[in-house]
Structure 1
Amino acid sequence: MKQMKRKFGFKNQKYNEQLASIPHNFAVTHDEENGVSELTIYGDIGESWWWESTSASDVDSALKEAGSNDLIINLNSPGGSAFDGIAIYNRLKAHKGKVTINVDGWACSAASIIAMAADELIMGAGAMMMIHEASTIVWGSKTLMRKEAEMLEKLEDGIIDIYMTRANVEREEIRSMVNEETWFSANEAVEIGFATITATTVKENEDDQLTQMKVQMQALQDELNKIKNQQKEPGQKPAAVAKGNLSKLFLNL
């Protein structure tokens, strides 16, 4: 049984314990009536003999079942295999339906690559994203180590290509951020172009819309009351403005 927790070699050691404690959860539901499939991807990315994880094959199977449904993906992951992350990214980019990704907690390393596939990427309250250098474990001669370093450089170039599909800064700035291992708050992820919006902003927008709707409904009710009062008074013509305001109300919903 897979019980081990992965250890991380991130430069910033502050969050290692929290990242290691993210429970694995890969869940899929399909709502054919509304044409929406929901995937939950929590925990490590990539096939592993040692701990529970979500592989590119798992996601591929789920997307085949989803057909052309819109996708809602709930993501909370410390990362894992860069190659699985890239495969999942490409699979999501090829999907016919809209892809909405909610970063519920973390989108680090390979998970940040997956996040780049979203048509709409929503950073949850307090959520974070991290990008860093590609890494591997190698044992052997100096020649083998040089070859591995060359491979990692090519892998990084491809990953930076993916980040640049969303980033609003120069490529060399992203490369520097990758080399330094850069952590982004929800707002910072939006500022650099990686994310579309934060969940906090979504909630504020919804609250504003609800407030506006309440004001409009109250104005409509006031006009209806005015008409009723006029109808009770002999010789008064009912006001003919309620219909226009009613249409405006429903146009704003």
Structure 2
Amino acid sequence: MPKAFELNPRALELWNPSLAPIEKEGEHSITLTGIVGDEWPYDENARPLTVARVDAALRSIGDNPVTVYINSPGGSMFEGIAIYNRLSQHKAGVTIKVLGLAGSAASVIAMAGQRREIGKTAFLFVHNSWTIAVGNRHEMHQCAAALTEFDQAMCDLYMDTSGQTQEQVTEWMDGETYMSGRTAVESGLMTHLLEDDEITTSVSGKSDLPAARKIEAALIRAGLPRSERRKLIADFKASLAPMTPPTPEALAPALSADAFSEASAEIENIMSFLQDQK
């Protein structure tokens, strides 16, 4: 059996996490941005995208219609299905709005709305289950059999939502298909195009995010376990942190006042030189 479901690296590379909704006054909404069922390793301020978080939000919203904004490359299939089922249980009505990307497990979540809107320049990304597995040939056969069942479950959901045939949906999934907003509506997976004035771009100030995403995508392709990827990304982020010069007190606590000033000037010169070399 697969131990974990991995994020598809193609979706991760193309995802733009800076897109954000322009929420309407009085609207009850949930914004799902990030990786499904996982922490977001690029931003320590981001919250995991989990069914527990969605459940808590729906309990707070109560018997009111809810709008769910999605911009996610996907993640755990099981968590995505759990979120889909939890949203489907909300009796007051669910509207889905895809801002940038609903990929992989996030495309499953996007099927939960009675009304499903997508930006004209946004995308759905559908594909077969993706995992990393280790073991002998018997375990590999078991893994393949399990993935076949998981793929059929997703295929059934896309078929029921869109009204398309199994042959058509299987072709989409086998081909790892990106659908533009217009194509997604024409396919039946989405119902309406989203107005452009409902999307904005947030400014996080984190210029290292695109590089970190590309690094993780490459590490996924290389088959590196998730724990090791997280460590390498943390090391990468640390390497980009501004250099903090040591204080003269830490280097030589017994310095005289004149020596202290000289040491301070020397340290500043050294740090300026190092910054210029970066």
1:132 to 127, 130, 139: 127
| 1:138 alignment partner, SS class | coil
Runs (4+) of structure 1 moved beyond 6 Å?
A: none
Counterpart residue identity of residue 32, structure 2: I
CA pair 143-24 structure 1, distance change in 2 beyond 3 A: farther
Deviations 1:82-122 (A, max 9, x none): 11110011111111111011111101100100000111111
Counterparts in 2 of 1:29-44, with a 5 A limit? 36-44=27-35
CA pair 50-142 structure 1, distance change in 2 beyond 3 A: farther
Counterparts in 2 of 1:63-212, with a 5 A limit? 63-200=58-195
Deviations 1:17-50 (A, max 9, x none): 332x52699x9x9x8xx6x521111111113485
Counterpart residue identity of residue 57, structure 1: A
Match of 2:13 in 1: 17
* Contact 1:129-1:184 within 8 A present in 2 as well: yes
Q: For the residues of structure 2 that align with 1:103 and 1:152, how far apart are their CA atoms?
A: 27
Gaps of 5+ in 2: 1-5, 199-278
Deviations 1:178-199 (A, max 9, x none): 1111110101001110111112
Q: For the residues of structure 1 that align with 2:134 and 2:9, how far apart are their CA atoms?
A: 17
- Report the more deviating stretch, 50-59 or 125-134: 50-59
| 1:198 alignment partner, SS class | strand
Q: For the residues of structure 2 that align with 1:197 and 1:134, how far apart are their CA atoms?
A: 27
Q: TM-score, normalised by structure 1?
A: 0.67
Q: For the residues of structure 1 that align with 2:147 and 2:75, how far apart are their CA atoms?
A: 15
Counterpart residue identity of residue 17, structure 1: E
What displacement does 1:140 show? Answer: 1.2
* Contact 2:120-2:180 within 8 A present in 1 as well: no
| 2:134 alignment partner, SS class | coil
* Contact 1:23-1:43 within 8 A present in 2 as well: no
* Contact 2:19-2:71 within 8 A present in 1 as well: no
Q: For the residues of structure 2 that align with 1:202 and 1:48, how far apart are their CA atoms?
A: 29
Match of 2:258 in 1: none
CA pair 176-43 structure 1, distance change in 2 beyond 3 A: same
Q: For the residues of structure 2 that align with 1:195 and 1:49, how far apart are their CA atoms?
A: 27
CA pair 49-198 structure 1, distance change in 2 beyond 3 A: closer
Structure having greater relative contact order (Cα 8 Å, sep ≥ 6): 2
Counterpart residue identity of residue 9, structure 2: G
CA pair 8-38 structure 1, distance change in 2 beyond 3 A: same
Q: How many residues align?
A: 187
What displacement does 1:201 show? Answer: 9.6
Match of 2:248 in 1: none
Overall identity of the aligned pairs, in % = 34
What displacement does 1:127 show? Answer: 0.7
CA pair 17-136 structure 1, distance change in 2 beyond 3 A: closer
What displacement does 1:131 show? Answer: 0.2
